[in-house]
A and B are shown apart, each in its own frame.
Chain A
């Protein structure tokens, strides 16, 4: 019993510190993970070998592979090109601009890391809005909210999805079949909600002279390295063909991503390898690794089994109801804390429920929807939110927490409601 109390204590203190944002989350997770090993070793429930076994290298490998591909793409100007290009296509019409920028950010973030996407597209958004003489807030907020929402649709669109896919054994195609249709509808509802919430800003007319200035932008000049763009795009396409045919080629997604990134590195051969590798988010990889080690400790101490027992004993609810409850509970938690620790903590709980004969496939999808859509709720709910907010703080119209509560929170509530409805419908019509 004492092992369970101590390991749970370490985990809760770590989550509280991450939530307080007083100390960097990676430092908190790293310290707590080592503490878990030390305490576990002396109390006899955990040690280094077990900790290493607890790390899901499939998740880390897939993340690393995709991060290297993005790191190669980052300095090429490709993302800026896309943003400038859709800016021109919008012909300066606010609603069209919102839809196009939101769509591009979503589509790119379904394939690549959505933080990088937002980091590179948001500055160009600020630029386009200033040229047009309009407020950038609606566009920045929408980019974060829509990319969070769209990211739930693919296996590599969102870190929790990678974790869930690895734990549940879901393939890339499973996400296209079970998640993408629900996300597709939810995304349009989110867009409609944003269109309504920002109606005042979006209905303002734009000066014709400023629209002409926008039309003069030269997207091609934003591109710095066409050669690299083509090479990396080829490797990204090959990686996705690999993911799609996982069941034929029998390769783990991490093997596919790492192979493609290795080939891309060999093909591009960046002059400054260190600069390229600096773009890889090592802190996130360490954060994930440390969380795996911590949750591994909880598992070995018997905490998760206990938790699953409690859930099973108290569970008189049908799976679909449990799923809907899970969507909301996880969404609310994800709005307050980072969704990655929540996902990593819930994965073993769901797995142990599976061991007790509960139908768990619907619960995995509920976890994915809750973790993904919940991040829209607050200014700190997802990394993309934090990124657009901190960028907007360098402008004259910073995004404030109260603005986020007025615009982001309704989007979260709407998307979770719609997703819950579709989830129930999908469960009864097709089954997960």
Chain B
């Protein structure tokens, strides 16, 4: 089994020059966690995840304080709204660098990349870099377990 056999092909993506507001609406309407970011030629140029979006309102202290055991109430940051300037800018400003697999790669190869990157989904591209699908860790994981010989023992 290769990636092509387990990936989803009906994938929502977003162009790199589109605004963060549009991405936010897509996440909300489609209830998804990952949006591949593409250029005009539909080539993969980045990945936008829910984490990238949430960083917009994430408190700064999350980056500098080691643990939050002593903070039962986040105070002013609980209801923090994003600044207008943070929403009205292209998604390429906040996207992550693209991590991808090619459609004919093995499942274990994809699983290894997901494990390293600590991400939940991975875009699938053709040989020339065009986005062709998206594989989630559930797609890849169950695809791999399916190949195990569970009846042997």
- Chain A interface residues toward B at CB < 8 A: 80, 84, 122-124, 126-127, 130-133, 136, 207, 209-210, 212-214, 216-222, 391, 394-396
Contacts and interface: CB of A to CB of B under 8 A. Distances in A.
A207 B73 CA distance: 14
A111 to B, nearest CB: 23
B70 A219 contact: yes
B81 to A, nearest CB: 12
Given A123-B64, A131-B76, A222 B69 contact: yes
Given A123-B65, A132-B75, A213-B74, 5 more contacts: A80-B70, A131-B71, A212-B73, A218-B69, A221-B69
B70 A218 contact: yes
B42 to A, nearest CB: 34
Interface residues of B, number: 17
Contact of A84 (B60, B70, B77): B70
Which 6 A/B pairs are nearest by Cβ-Cβ distance? A133-B76, A213-B75, A131-B75, A395-B60, A221-B70, A127-B61
Contacts of B66: 123
| Most chain A CB within a 10 A radius of its CB, from B71, B73, B74, B75 | B75
B63 interface: yes
B72 A131 contact: no
B60 A394 contact: yes
A133 B63 CA distance: 17
A340 B72 CA distance: 43
A241 to B, nearest CB: 32
Contacts of B72: 216-218
Contacts of B33: none
Interface secondary structure of B, over-half rule: loop
B60 A217 contact: no
B102 to A, nearest CB: 36
Interface of B: 59-61, 63-66, 69-78
Contacts of A212: 73
Contacts of B63: 394-395
A122 B78 CA distance: 21
Contacts of A221: 69-70
A376 to B, nearest CB: 23
A130 B73 contact: no
15 contacts: A126-B61, A126-B64, A126-B65, A127-B61, A131-B71, A131-B75, A131-B77, A132-B75, A133-B76, A213-B73, A217-B73, A218-B71, A218-B72, A395-B60, A396-B60
Contacts of A127: 59, 61, 64-65, 71
Contacts of A396: 60
A374 B10 CA distance: 64
A207 B74 CA distance: 13
A356 B65 CA distance: 54
A325 to B, nearest CB: 41
B76 A210 contact: yes
B76 A130 contact: yes
A275 to B, nearest CB: 14
B75 A123 contact: no
A212 B72 CA distance: 11
Contacts of A217: 70-73
B94 to A, nearest CB: 14
A123 B69 CA distance: 15
A130 B63 CA distance: 12
A210 B75 contact: yes
B75 A130 contact: yes
A218 B67 CA distance: 13
Contact of A216 (B59, B60, B61, B73): B73
A160 B76 CA distance: 41
Nearest to A209: B75
Contacts of B59: 127, 130
A222 B68 CA distance: 8
Contacts of B61: 123, 126-127, 130
Given A130-B59, A130-B60, A394-B60, A124 B74 contact: no
Contacts of A210: 75-76
Contacts of B65: 123-124, 126-127
Nearest to B61: A127
Contacts of A80: 70
A181 B100 CA distance: 65
B76 A213 contact: yes
B64 A391 contact: yes
